[in-house]
Amino acid sequence: MRPPGALKYRRCGGSVNIAARSPLAGPFAIGNILPISGQLGGESIMGLEQSRLAVRAGQVISALVVLFLVADGLTGLFNPAVLAEPMAATGYGADKLPVISILALIAALVYAVPQTAAVGAILVTGYAGGAIATHLRVDPGVVPEQVICLLLGVLAWLGLWLRDGRVTSLLPVRR
């Protein structure tokens, strides 16, 4: 019988995967299958040590994404006059601004929490994709707002990819 928190070794596909047993959950806990980022000395699923520089760069990129979303959400909530004219130009009334601002804040919050960052990246991608679709509907050409939204979505995933070994192992870069 292994004590709670002991390491569990499993043989998978010719290599040894090490996964930490979570004392908090049953057999379907993610800790039973995937090591949590930072656990086991920063090892990823494939056993590769993540570079501290890559993790730090991912944290900085993720922080910039969160700051952008928070600034966007707070501007919409507390200074809606600034965004009223651009919203009207895209076909949305000023009454939709609080809802869109709250969605930006929720996406930022979910993305900022490490345990829910993957879901947050999906929300950020949806938020940015909605903005791109809105701008394409109004102006079929490429405008700076579309590029900013595209960069926001790409940076959200890049930051998560750099700072979380689980995402890195799911989306590997082939050399």
Please identify which residue in the block is written with the tokens 């995937």.
34
Confidence of residue 173 (pLDDT cuts 50, 70, 90): confident
Assigned token pair, 74 = 């707070």
| Pairing verdict, β 15-20 and 7-12 | antiparallel
**pLDDT of amino acid 129:** 95
Taking only the tens place, the pLDDT of each residue in 119-170 is 999 999 999 999 999 989 888 888 888 999 999 999 999 999 999 988 888 8
Using 50, 70 and 90 to split pLDDT, how confident is the model at 66? very high
Q: pLDDT by residue (tens digit) across 71-95? A: 999 999 999 888 888 888 888 888 8
Average pLDDT, the chain: 79
Which sequence spans correspond to the domains of the chain? 7-42, 52-170
Q: Among candidates 107, 87, 103, which has minimal Cα distance to 95? A: 87
Q: Considering only residues 8 and 150, tell me which one the structure prediction assigns the higher pLDDT.
A: 150
Cβ atoms within 10 A of the Cβ of 166, count? 19
- Reduced to 3 states (helix: H, G, I; strand: E, B; else coil), residue 10 is strand
